[in-house]
């Protein structure tokens, strides 16, 4: 059996006719090496953003089912165009929607989860020597409606297909050279990481490194798919995501990540009685809103009321408000929102066994007059919610404080200053 590879091209990599033709040539070159190719494409350039804007122009609260009908068109356009370009290069290509490719999801519109991949049609097309192009970011629900997989979801399509057809590797071609020690758009001297573990990549993706969608990393870890994230503009190797024991180096801190799309929701004057946090979080979970950090301050004295704050993705504010409105009304609680929050995180497997990292993070932010509003940690991550407009400064300060640029990144066996 010839080798099979999944190649995924992101929006910037197929943004115009020239780039689409370049992707087509790259796919064909791989095929001519004797490899079977399934290519997953994103919508061109800012197409998804434009479709969302178009929906908002006609409706303040677009119906989620219709939203998915709309959003799924972007990737379909890219695939049909690319198939035409590949045909002109003398190869047989067939484009498929997510539904035609057998991607079955749950019914949670605009952030559906893949339940199953029925890849028979892809296998048949590969056996007939076709190059198969699959529209990323979409599937068909168990209720037979078109669904989409959440922003950045084409990464997950690619990984799920790689798992289903037993591809040797899932290559994610994008507009940067791989996964870096920080977003290279914010930290120009960030370091490309040749190898990163699933454990660290999961923390990075979940704290804002959108270069790989979180679910794609989860899926790859659960199904043993090897990801190679690399540039679509040249042929140099990028970043390979591998199981923990295969990573070559173990720096103390691997990366600084950030997100600017955070909002804080505060319930003011919540009665200090058991069960309320449970009710609020259940209502949000039922509405499919992901809560990130939660803080509840203690009432000053018994019988008093407390404040409860949590962060949610900014786009989820209306849904979150709707979900908690009945509870807030019943308890006579005021709900306030602050949509301008950001988050900066440091991730590194080395911090598990190394005290003093948190102190260095907080001191660095303090020295830069950056106020920390909320904090959360995992064994290999420390995250701070900070004012949205200070996020770039916070990222640069932490990246420099932990010596992550170029070759001078710190190893756990080396002391790193007054807090080690
Ligand atoms: P695509 O359209 O190819 O899917 P994305 O925009 O989803 O591309 O992801 C690539 C972008 O991710 C880069 O342009 C970069 O700005 C951003 N990014 C954020 N954090 C990182 C990081 N740690 N390493 C690399 N890129 C990052
Ligand atoms: N086009 C979708 C988005 O912009 C999916 C993707 O590119 O992965 O989020
Ligand atoms: Mg992406």
Which two tokens mark 238?
A: 């990028």
Report the atom number in ligand 1 closest to the C-alpha of 185.
16
Stated pTM of the model: 0.92
CATH of span 4-175: 3.40.1160.10
Distance 104 CA to ligand 2 centre (A): 18
Distance of CA 311 to the CA centre of its chain: 17
Token code pair at residue 320: 């979150």
Q: What is the pLDDT of residue 229?
A: 98
Residue nearest to atom 27 of ligand 1 (CA): 183
**Cβ 43 under 6 angstroms from ligand 2:** yes
pLDDT tens, the chain, 420 aa long: 789 999 999 999 999 999 999 999 999 999 999 999 999 999 999 999 999 999 999 999 899 999 999 999 999 999 999 999 999 999 999 999 999 999 999 999 999 999 999 999 999 999 999 999 999 999 999 999 999 999 999 999 999 999 999 999 999 999 999 999 999 999 999 999 999 999 999 999 999 999 999 999 999 999 999 999 999 999 999 999 998 776 556 678 999 999 998 999 999 988 888 888 899 999 999 998 999 899 887 766 666 788 999 999 998 999 999 999 999 999 999 999 999 999 999 999 989 888 889 999 999 999 999 999 999 999 999 999 999 999 999 999 999 999 998 754 444 344 333 322
Ligand 2 pocket, 98 CB below 6 A?
Answer: no
Domain with CATH 3.40.1160.10 in the chain: 4-175
pLDDT at residue 123, rounded to an integer: 98
Work out which ligand 1 atom sits closest to the CA atom of 152: 7
- Cα(176) to centroid of ligand 1, in Å? 7
Q: How many CA atoms lie within 13 A of 391 on its CB side?
A: 24
CATH 3.30.2130.10 residue window(s) in the chain: 249-420
CA atoms of 406 and 193, how far apart (whole Å): 10
Whether the Cβ atoms of residue 131 and residue 82 lie closer than 8 Å to each other: no
- The token pair at 269 is 């004057």
Q: Which two tokens mark 222?
A: 């659960």
pLDDT at 248: 56
> Cα–chain-centroid distance for residue 408?
28
CA atoms within 13 A on the CB side of 326: 6
Q: Is the CB of 134 under 6 A from ligand 1?
A: no
Q: Whose CA is nearest to atom 5 of ligand 1?
A: 211
Residue 205 confidence (pLDDT): 98
Give domain 249-420's CATH number out of 3.40.710.10, 3.30.2130.10, 3.40.50.300, 3.90.800.10. 3.30.2130.10
Q: What is the pLDDT of residue 27?
A: 98
């Amino acid at each position: 059996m010839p080798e099979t590879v999944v190649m995924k091209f992101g929006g910037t990599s197929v943004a115009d006719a020239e780039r689409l033709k370049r992707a087509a040539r790259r796919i064909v070159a791989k095929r001519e090496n004797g490899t079977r190719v399934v290519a997953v494409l994103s919508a061109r350039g800012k197409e998804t953003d434009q479709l969302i804007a178009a929906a908002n122009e006609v409706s303040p609260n677009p119906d989620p089912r219709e939203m998915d009908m709309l959003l799924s068109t972007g990737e379909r356009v890219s695939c049909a165009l690319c198939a035409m370009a590949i045909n002109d290069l003398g190869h047989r290509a067939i484009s498929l929607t997510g539904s035609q490719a057998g991607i079955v999801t749950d019914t949670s519109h605009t952030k559906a989860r893949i339940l199953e991949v029925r890849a028979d049609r892809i296998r048949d097309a590969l056996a007939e020597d076709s190059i198969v192009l699959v529209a990323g970011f979409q599937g068909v629900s168990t209720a037979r409606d078109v669904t989409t997989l959440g922003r950045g979801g084409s990464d997950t399509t690619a990984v799920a297909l790689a798992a289903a057809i037993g591809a040797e590797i899932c290559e994610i071609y994008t507009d940067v050279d791989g996964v870096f020690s920080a977003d290279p758009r914010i930290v120009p001297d960030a370091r490309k990481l040749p190898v990163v573990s699933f454990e660290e990549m999961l923390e990075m993706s979940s704290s804002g490194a959108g270069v790989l969608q979180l679910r794609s990393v989860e899926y790859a870890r659960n199904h043993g798919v090897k990801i190679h994230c690399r540039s679509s503009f040249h042929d140099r190797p990028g970043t390979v995501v591998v199981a923990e024991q295969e990573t070559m180096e173990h720096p103390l801190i691997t990366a600084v990540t950030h997100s600017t799309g955070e909002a804080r929701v505060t319930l003011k004057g919540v009665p200090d009685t058991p069960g309320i946090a449970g009710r609020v979080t259940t209502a949000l979970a039922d509405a499919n809103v992901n809560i990130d950090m939660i803080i509840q301050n203690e009432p000053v004295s018994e019988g008093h009321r407390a404040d409860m704050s949590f962060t949610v993705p900014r786009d989820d504010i209306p849904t979150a408000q709707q979900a908690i409105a009945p509870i807030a009304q019943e308890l006579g609680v005021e709900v306030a929102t602050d949509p301008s929050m950001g988050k900066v995180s440091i991730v590194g497997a080395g911090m598990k066994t190394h005290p003093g990292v948190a102190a260095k993070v907080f001191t660095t932010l303090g020295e830069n007059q950056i106020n920390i509003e909320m904090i959360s940690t995992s064994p290999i991550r420390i995250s701070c919610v900070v004012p949205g407009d200070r996020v770039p400064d916070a990222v640069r300060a932490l990246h420099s404080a932990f010596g992550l640029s170029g070759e001078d990144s710190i190893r756990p066996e080396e002391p790193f200053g007054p807090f080690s």
